[in-house]
Chain A
Amino acid sequence: MKEFASDKKSRVPAFLSFVVIALFYLAVFIAEQHLPATSMLFTVLKKGATYALVAVSMNLLNGFTGIFSLGQAGFMLIGAYTYAIFTIPLEQRESVYQYFQGGAVHFTVPVPVALIFAGLAAAFFAFLIGLPVLRLKSDYLAIATLGFAEIIRAIFQWNQLGPITNGSNMLRMFPNFNDFNIRNASGEVTVYLSTTIPFIIAGVCIALIVLLIHSGYGRAFKAIRDDEIAAEAMGINLAHHKQLAFSISSFFAGVGGAMLAMYQTTVQAKSFTSAMTYEILLIVVIGGVGSVTGSVFSSFLFVACSEWWLRFLDEKQMIGTFEVPLLRNGFRLVIFSLIIMIVVLFFRRGIMGTKELPDLFRRKTKEGIK
């Protein structure tokens, strides 16, 4: 009898993907031990890992459940603040919350617990606003979630909440990525982990999202995306499943927000603008709506371009004695926008379409056999 991939899927592509990812992690770890910690590479990798998680969480909603939400920055903000509030060391609180007598929170929790709190807080808010908002159809839902993010941003800067949020002042002194480095007694770093640990956090979260997508619930989400009426007729409770997807997506956006806080070393509500959501949306679109691999890939590409590879465009460049015209502060953004327009116009399905990493190997192995 003929075999069908639907039940006896060849495990080779999945295994190869796993190997590739493992090697990539190993490379990051080794690079971190040997290259100078100030290298731009690590800035890109850390921020890229953070954005990858947020982009994948957004893709879970937009690409896999068909819910066009633009609340990502709001949920990241909630996550970032939750993380910071619960981890600023007690002895630093007096100086951080200088206008609020050391703040109202008088305990800390370990970093992993704070990360989970960050996710839960974001998921909780998502659950609350999900009830009314998820009844709306596409554009209205987008506007409502965008509005929610703006409101959250305003509320967190509200002075009355100062003892908790520090009002419009920044939160700082909480553990950041550099605190993951292992130091000896005299304070020298013996093992660098400030890039590897963020990679592990983002990796575990993304793996959980991928597992979810491949579970029965993931199939139900896709069914809702493809045809709500048919999904409901097949017994899938729309409200319940949309609420679930929205809360889970927001959980991981919250964790991503906490990672962003660690990356930035400070948190301030006013930086979580809708521009941040658009950036992430762009990443998702460029990577391919409905491809986790695409989102991850384009996160790193996007961050590398905006933070590193295109930086030279902002400075005067000389070729011999010839000064290249146009290059001045801000030109980078022009080029950047052009690239994005080209991608959106000519590669509408993004880099990956809906393909995933194992699919790349699958095609290759097929060609190899046939």
Chain B
Amino acid sequence: MENNILRIEHLTMQFGGVVAVNDLSMEINRGEIVALIGPNGAGKTTAFNCVTGVYEPTNGQILFCGRQIARSSPSGKMRKIYAGNDASAFVGDSVRLSPDHVTKLGIARTFQNIRLFSGMTVFDNVLTAKHLRRKSNFLTSTLHLNYAEEKRMREETRELLKAVHLLDVADEMATSLPYGKQRLLEIARALATKPTLLLLDEPAAGMNPQETEELSAFIRHIKDEFQLTIFIIEHHMNLVMDISDRIYVIDFGRLIASGVPDEIQNNPAVIEAYLGGGDE
């Protein structure tokens, strides 16, 4: 089995004149919990969006389990205003997958600004995320000939809700839940797509201290139970230091440090970035 799950090579994402991610290279191995940290506006979410196919990178390539899921070089107008790293390294054969395709390959995510399906119940939110692994087509599905499949999906949905302790609110509207529970629901929904790699964008944001406390145990638990590799963006340093195997730190889109938690904690560049950033 391929040990390398995600490899990002010289990723640059430029919006107009803003270079949000600048020459970022990193890799994640099977079974790891890897954190991406950095001050506000450092480009963390943008990096996630490149991995999941929401954005087409300006330059660089991304491999998932050895397979190219994105590859591009500056083109069109961008060629003139490009302000990133070496523009010639990834010329030719660009690869662009849509977000749903990336999810089908096994990368699931949660959102920094919660994006639940607001018109649906908690249960249906998770059930809907099972749709992509369907065997039925719209005819068999309409005529409810996929009875066995539907039953299995509902069963699995119930299991997932049990795992995140939301089974007792299964029939409530998703958006009526408190913030912390909505975050857990987003994780359950992402898990429903049966990912290999789970991307969590600030899962503790909006959680109370106790929920944050429980979150690290929870993340470890789902990692083992669902054999996941986890890539997490988080501002709560206690949480990050507690669960991460390795940490990458970016500032203004650039990688400024990487290593195990102890190394990062004592890294002068990191301390400088956070103190200089002022926000933290």
Give the interface of A toward B (CB within 8 A).
Answer: 2, 4-7, 208, 211-212, 215-217, 219-220, 222-223, 225-227, 229-238, 244, 248, 290, 354
- Asked if A234 contacts B167 (CB within 8 A), the reply is no
CA–CA, A5 and B123, complex, Å: 10
A6-B171 in contact given A226-B120, A235-B104 (Cβ < 8 Å):
yes
**What number of residue pairs across chains A and B have CB atoms under 8 A from each other?**
121
A223-B117 in contact given A232-B100, A233-B103, A234-B189 (Cβ < 8 Å):
yes
B262 touches A (CB below 8 Å): no
- Asked if B115 contacts A230 (CB within 8 A), the reply is yes
CA–CA, A253 and B16, complex, Å: 44
Interface centre among A211, A216, A232 (most CB of B within 10 A): A216
Interface size on B, residues (CB 8 A): 47
- Asked if B142 contacts A211 (CB within 8 A), the reply is yes
CA–CA, A4 and B161, complex, Å: 12
Distance (whole angstroms) from the CB of A6 to the closest CB of chain B: 4
- In the complex, what residues of B have CB within 8 A of residue A220's CB? 128, 131
CA–CA, A227 and B52, complex, Å: 16
CA–CA, A205 and B117, complex, Å: 28
- Stretch from B3-11, B132-140, B205-213 at the A interface: B132-140
CA–CA, A283 and B54, complex, Å: 37
11 other contacts beyond A211-B143, A219-B131, A233-B109, with CB at 8 A cut-off? Answer: A7-B158, A215-B142, A216-B136, A229-B99, A231-B117, A233-B54, A234-B100, A234-B108, A234-B189, A235-B104, A235-B131
A290-B100 in contact given A4-B171, A233-B52 (Cβ < 8 Å):
no
- Asked if A234 contacts B103 (CB within 8 A), the reply is yes
- In the complex, what residues of B have CB within 8 A of residue A5's CB? 171
CB nearest neighbor in B for A63:
B119
CA–CA, A211 and B120, complex, Å: 17
- In the complex, what residues of A have CB within 8 A of residue B192's CB? 234
CA–CA, A231 and B131, complex, Å: 10
- Asked if B100 contacts A238 (CB within 8 A), the reply is yes
B116 touches A (CB below 8 Å): yes
CB nearest neighbor in B for A224:
B117
Q: B266-278 toward A: CB 8 Å interface, digit per residue (1/0)?
A: 0000000000000
- Asked if A235 contacts B132 (CB within 8 A), the reply is yes
Give the interface of B toward A (CB within 8 A).
Answer: 52, 54, 98-101, 103-104, 108-109, 111, 115-121, 123-124, 127-134, 136, 138, 141-144, 146, 150, 153-154, 158, 167-168, 170-171, 189-190, 192-193
Pairs A–B under 8 Å by Cβ, sample size 6: A208-B142, A212-B138, A215-B138, A223-B120, A230-B117, A237-B101
CB nearest neighbor in B for A238:
B100
- In the complex, what residues of A have CB within 8 A of residue B193's CB? 234-235
- In the complex, what residues of B have CB within 8 A of residue A225's CB? 119
- Asked if B100 contacts A236 (CB within 8 A), the reply is yes
- In the complex, what residues of B have CB within 8 A of residue A244's CB? 138
- In the complex, what residues of B have CB within 8 A of residue A235's CB? 100, 103-104, 129, 131-133, 193
- Asked if B138 contacts A4 (CB within 8 A), the reply is no
- In the complex, what residues of A have CB within 8 A of residue B128's CB? 216, 219-220, 222-223, 231, 234, 236
Interface centre among A220, A235, A236 (most CB of B within 10 A): A235
- In the complex, what residues of A have CB within 8 A of residue B101's CB? 237
